[in-house]
């Protein structure tokens, strides 16, 4: 899936070029485990700044547009994952997702959860 055409596969050269344009890291730095503190892609930083500016200027005036954008993103994620949009949930982070599963799963006495020893304590 390429960003320009969701039906087209991106080549490794295109992926490398996209990564280089999105992450302006100092030479020699590679982030392999972001653990919630890695640099954001440029488009994310710009989108968050634009949203904050818009919210500061006009509050929730454009709320319907925000909801429309959320639905567009949900549809794109569903297509990428070959899923239904109804199966896509946006959450704050992995810890929140694990909590949703932990509290929503129909656990029974004697059930066990197996996790790696080094698992982040979500």
**Three-class secondary structure assignment of the chain:** CCCCCCCCCCCHHHHHHHHHHHCCCCCCCCCCCCCCCCCCCHHHHHHHHHHHHHHHHHCCCCHHHHHHHHHHHHHHHHHHHCCCHHHCCCCCCHHHHHHHHHHHCCCCCCCCCCCCCCCCCC
- The torsion of the CA quartet 22, 28, 32, 33, rounded to 10 degrees, works out to -100
- Categorize the per-residue pLDDT at 6 as very low, low, confident or very high, splitting at 50, 70 and 90: low
Containing structural domain, residue 70: 39-104
Q: With respect to residue 119, please indicate whether it lies within any of the assigned structural domains.
A: no
Report how far residue 102's alpha carbon sits from residue 115's, in angstroms, rounded to the nearest whole number.
Answer: 13
pTM: 0.64
Give the number of domains in the chain: 1
Q: With respect to residue 19, please indicate whether it lies within any of the assigned structural domains.
A: no
Q: With respect to residue 121, please indicate whether it lies within any of the assigned structural domains.
A: no
Q: With respect to residue 64, please indicate whether it lies within any of the assigned structural domains.
A: yes
Q: With respect to residue 58, please indicate whether it lies within any of the assigned structural domains.
A: yes
Using one digit for the tens of pLDDT, what is the confidence trace for 29-68?
A: 777 766 667 788 999 999 999 999 999 999 999 999 999 9
Q: With respect to residue 49, please indicate whether it lies within any of the assigned structural domains.
A: yes
Q: With respect to residue 7, please indicate whether it lies within any of the assigned structural domains.
A: no
Residue carrying the six token digits 């954008």: 69
> Given this model, what pLDDT does residue 49 score?
97
Q: With respect to residue 115, please indicate whether it lies within any of the assigned structural domains.
A: no
- Categorize the per-residue pLDDT at 95 as very low, low, confident or very high, splitting at 50, 70 and 90: confident
């Amino acid at each position: 899936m390429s960003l320009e055409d969701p039906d087209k596969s991106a080549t490794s050269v295109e992926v490398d070029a996209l990564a280089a344009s999105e992450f302006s890291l100092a030479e020699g730095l590679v982030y392999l485990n972001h653990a919630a503190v890695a640099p954001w892609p440029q488009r994310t930083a710009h989108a968050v700044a634009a949203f904050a500016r818009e919210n500061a200027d006009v509050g929730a005036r454009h709320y319907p547009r925000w909801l429309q954008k959320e639905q567009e993103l949900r549809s794109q994620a569903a297509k990428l994952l070959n899923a239904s949009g109804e199966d896509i949930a946006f959450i704050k982070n992995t810890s929140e997702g694990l909590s949703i599963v932990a509290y929503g799963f129909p656990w029974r006495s004697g059930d066990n959860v197996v996790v790696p020893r080094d698992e982040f304590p979500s």
